[in-house]
Amino acid sequence: MHHLLETQQFDRDLLRSVFDLATKLENQRNDSLHGKILASLFYEPSTRTRFSFESAMMRLGGQVITAENANEVSSSVKGETLEDTIRVMNHYADAIVIRHPETGAAERAAAVSDVPVINAGDGAGQHPTQALLDLYTIERELGRLDDIHVVIVGDMRYYRAARSLSYLLGKFNNVTITGVTAPELRISDELREYLTEKNITYHETDVLPEAMKNADVIYQTRIQKERLSPEAYQRTKGQYVIDRSLADSMKDGGIIIHPLPRVGEITPEVDDSPHAVYFKQVGYGLTVRMALLSMLLGGKSVV
């Protein structure tokens, strides 16, 4: 794997390698990527993903050059194409992590890049490293990835991390996915066909309390104002909110995850619930990204 663009690139063996290395790297710092430089090129706002990658690189002894709000501070303001920007970055960095508002932008970048390109979210396309850390969180908390019921709440159509996770879940056995969404945010035909092909049981419902009672994993998502028309956003925001009473209705061992940021879809009193692991999930994400950078850039693992 030279570029990391979508979750379809991973099979179970490769996932196992990433997760085993991530576990070894927990709470570790080393110099395995000393002398390597990561270019952090973000055309969309980000807190967790950008800082997570930059922190991961530094914890492995590497360095970072960064452009936050690259659409405002890079030469794209002058009309430079994405492809030309990437060609230039190839002379400055050993790997490029990119977030871009256009679906397919990461693939365009990879097509002209000799150094690894990591997709940190491209429009409504995919967010593969978020999905990998989501899956790692599930395994660490549940102890398994087969025989699970995952309920995805809010947005199955445009939420790239939820779509990316669904593609990963298709690699496991006896998995059920339930989508709790408004009609305009339901699963795409393409993803529905993929899940059918992979023998994943998929249900849809608009009743969140009933779905939560039977779930091993609740994956709550933010309704994305930036992806919807003002009318659609007003119709769908606040439709499915998890409060403490709903969290308490979950079965023992069930977990609530969220890629964050949240904007009201999980109330603060849920934070100290034994089911809430979304802040712990952030820490899992750091070590998963350390593992990915180490594998892409040839770093030596810590045993």
* Catalytic site positions: 48-49, 78, 99, 127
Burial of 101 (C-beta count, 10 Å sphere; 0-12/13-18/19+): middle
Looking from the CA of 284 toward its CB, the CA atoms found within 13 Å total 24
Provide the terminal-to-terminal Cα distance of the chain, rounded to the nearest Å. Answer: 23
The b-or-e profile of 192-224 (16+ CB within 10 A means b, else e) is bebbeeeebebeeeeebeebbeebbbbbbbbbb
The number of residues making up the chain comes to: 303
Contact 43/99 with Cβ under 8 angstroms? yes
Token couple for 251: 């079965």
Strand partners, 202: 177
